[in-house]
Amino acid sequence: SPIGSPLIGLQTKKVGLSLIRIFADMIFKHGFIHCDAHPGNILVRRKPKNKNQYQIVLLDHGLYRVLDK
């Protein structure tokens, strides 16, 4: 099913899997986590230079936590 504006037409499953990868990389590769990830702080848009691809932009970087090993 599409996400966002009908003009964007992105697939929710594909975007969801990308979000999972982003947060898994934060946690397991980099050892920190964005602690305020709600729909208002996640922007999904078409890439400006390649409208066939999308990008996920995390907003509001005021609250992160470093994870203990």
Catalytic residues: 36
Tell me how far apart the alpha carbons of residues 2 and 43 are, in angstroms, rounded to a whole number.
15
Q: What is the DSSP letter of 15?
A: H
Could you count the other beta carbons within 10 Å of the beta carbon of residue 45? 13
